[in-house]
């Protein structure tokens, strides 16, 4: 009897359930429904810490292909606090190891992004059999070409930009669509290109407000009464980027007193300099929700079944990833703590520039 634990950690996304379904179906095929027991931990690592779990059956995985979110629930357990005792003095790492061993698990499958995989690697180094599966709408996880949830989030954000296009053109307005992504601009870049944004602002390319205004006015001279900006929530001005960490923190705290986010500050600056009507749209957590698209359903199914196969081989301590369209294994120790960001000089940036897209830097 194989005993497998699963948990979903960090922010939710559209294909978590599909991935768990892939793992389960793969295991049931390899071992038979009677040859494997799957234990789902509730609300991520918290369930593992506090022994909050439920035994899952084949019935629990039925019908999940088109269900977003996670049937196990999720929570954020910051890696930087993982070694600190909880409010009752509980050693979190020792508690997770105890639960794993008390349940006599053969493997723990962790579905999560950067922070979650750092904890997965820690548990692997502590002697547990762990397999990671790459989840995040930000696509910023090292070692994999893409993460599940990313393509579905692109589709959602692109749909928002598509809808904004009609009202922007009808009223000759400037619209800023704020897309998720604090440290990496993959989602904003792809949604912006797919949605036909005129300006794309991402964390990797600090913007200059003068360059943004120049692009807006240039479009106006060419007879385009509207402009659409796709703005990553982590977009940063050139002035802020040049500050040291301490001064930047102070400047951001000051901005938060005046504006809800960077998009509202940019909107105010454009209005002040051009006198034009500027609006901000923030789709927010819509980008995480809804039904996973076809691409993510296939990717998640492939990743999940490969995890089952690696369990059957006893091959642990790895992230199941996709590279060059092939499913591969990458050691957790190689990817933990590494962030995959957009290369400002990469091909996709140059191709976007050839489309006439401005990144607010020139």
Domain count, the chain: 2
Q: Report yes or no on 164 lying in a domain.
A: yes
Tokens at residue 1, please?
């009897």
Same domain? 249 vs 296: no
Tokens at residue 11, please?
């922010």
Q: Report yes or no on 139 lying in a domain.
A: yes
Same domain? 139 vs 162: no
Same domain? 196 vs 120: no
Instruction: Give CA–CA dist 23/236, Å, rounded.
Output: 39
Same domain? 138 vs 15: yes
Same domain? 145 vs 157: no
Are 19 and 304 spatial neighbours (Cβ–Cβ below 8 Å)? yes
In the chain, which residues have pLDDT < 50? none
Name 333's Cβ contacts closer than 8 Å, sequence gap at least 6: 121, 124, 125, 317
Query: Which residue among 12, 43, 138, 198 is the active-site one?
Result: 138
pTM more than 0.85: yes
- 138 part of the active site: yes
Can you give the CATH number for the domain in which 241 is found?
3.40.50.460
Local structure of 4: helix, strand or coil:
strand
Q: Give the pLDDT of residue 19.
A: 98
Same domain? 38 vs 139: yes
User: pLDDT tens for residues 104-162?
Assistant: 999 999 999 999 999 999 999 999 999 999 999 999 999 999 999 999 999 999 999 99
Q: Report yes or no on 346 lying in a domain.
A: no
Phi and psi angles of residue 91, each rounded to the nearest 5 degrees, phi first: -80, 110
Can you give the CATH number for the domain in which 130 is found?
3.40.50.450
Instruction: Give CA–CA dist 326/199, Å, rounded.
Output: 33
- If you write DSSP's letter for every residue of 117-143 in order, what string do you get? HHHHHHHHHTT--EEEEEB-TT--BTT
Q: Report yes or no on 326 lying in a domain.
A: yes
Same domain? 254 vs 306: no
Same domain? 279 vs 303: no
Q: Report yes or no on 212 lying in a domain.
A: yes
Same domain? 277 vs 299: no
Are 222 and 356 spatial neighbours (Cβ–Cβ below 8 Å)? no
Q: Report yes or no on 208 lying in a domain.
A: yes
Same domain? 268 vs 179: yes
Q: Report yes or no on 360 lying in a domain.
A: no
Q: Report yes or no on 34 lying in a domain.
A: yes
Same domain? 315 vs 251: no
Owning domain of residue 22: 2-149+292-335
Same domain? 203 vs 318: no
């Amino acid at each position: 009897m194989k005993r497998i634990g699963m948990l979903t950690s960090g922010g939710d996304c559209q294909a978590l359930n599909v991935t768990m379904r892939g793992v389960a179906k793969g295991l049931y095929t390899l071992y038979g429904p009677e040859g494997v027991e799957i234990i789902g931990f509730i609300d991520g690592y918290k369930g593992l810490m506090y022994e909050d779990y439920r035994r899952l059956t084949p019935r629990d995985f039925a019908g999940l292909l088109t269900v977003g979110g996670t049937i196990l629930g999720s929570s954020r357990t910051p890696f930087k606090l993982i070694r600190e005792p909880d409010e009752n003095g509980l050693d979190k790492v020792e508690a997770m190891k105890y639960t794993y061993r008390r349940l006599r698990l053969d493997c723990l499958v962790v579905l999560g992004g950067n922070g979650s995989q750092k904890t997965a690697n820690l548990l692997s180094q502590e002697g547990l059999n762990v397999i990671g599966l790459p989840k995040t709408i930000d696509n910023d996880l090292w070692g994999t070409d893409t993460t599940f949830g990313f393509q579905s989030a692109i589709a959602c954000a692109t749909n928002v930009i598509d809808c904004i296009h009609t009202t922007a053109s009808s009223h000759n307005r400037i619209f800023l669509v704020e897309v998720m992504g604090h440290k990496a601009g993959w989602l904003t870049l792809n949604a912006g290109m797919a949605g036909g944004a005129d300006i794309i602002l991402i964390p990797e390319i600090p913007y200059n407000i003068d360059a943004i205004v120049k692009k807006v006015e240039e479009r106006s001279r060419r007879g385009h009464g509207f402009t659409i900006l796709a703005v990553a929530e982590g977009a940063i001005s050139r002035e802020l980027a040049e500050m040291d960490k301490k001064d930047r923190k102070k400047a951001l705290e000051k901005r938060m007193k005046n504006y809800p986010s960077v998009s509202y500050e940019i909107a105010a600056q454009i209005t002040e300099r051009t006198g034009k009507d500027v609006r901000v749209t923030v789709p927010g957590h819509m980008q995480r929700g809804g039904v996973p698209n076809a691409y993510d359903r296939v990717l998640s199914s492939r990743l999940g079944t490969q995890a089952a196969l690696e369990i059957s081989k006893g091959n642990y301590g790895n992230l199941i990833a996709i590279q060059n369209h092939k499913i591969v294994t990458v050691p957790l120790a190689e990817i933990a703590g590494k962030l995959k960001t957009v290369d400002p000089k990469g091909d996709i940036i140059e191709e976007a520039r050839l489309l006439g897209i401005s990144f607010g830097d020139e």
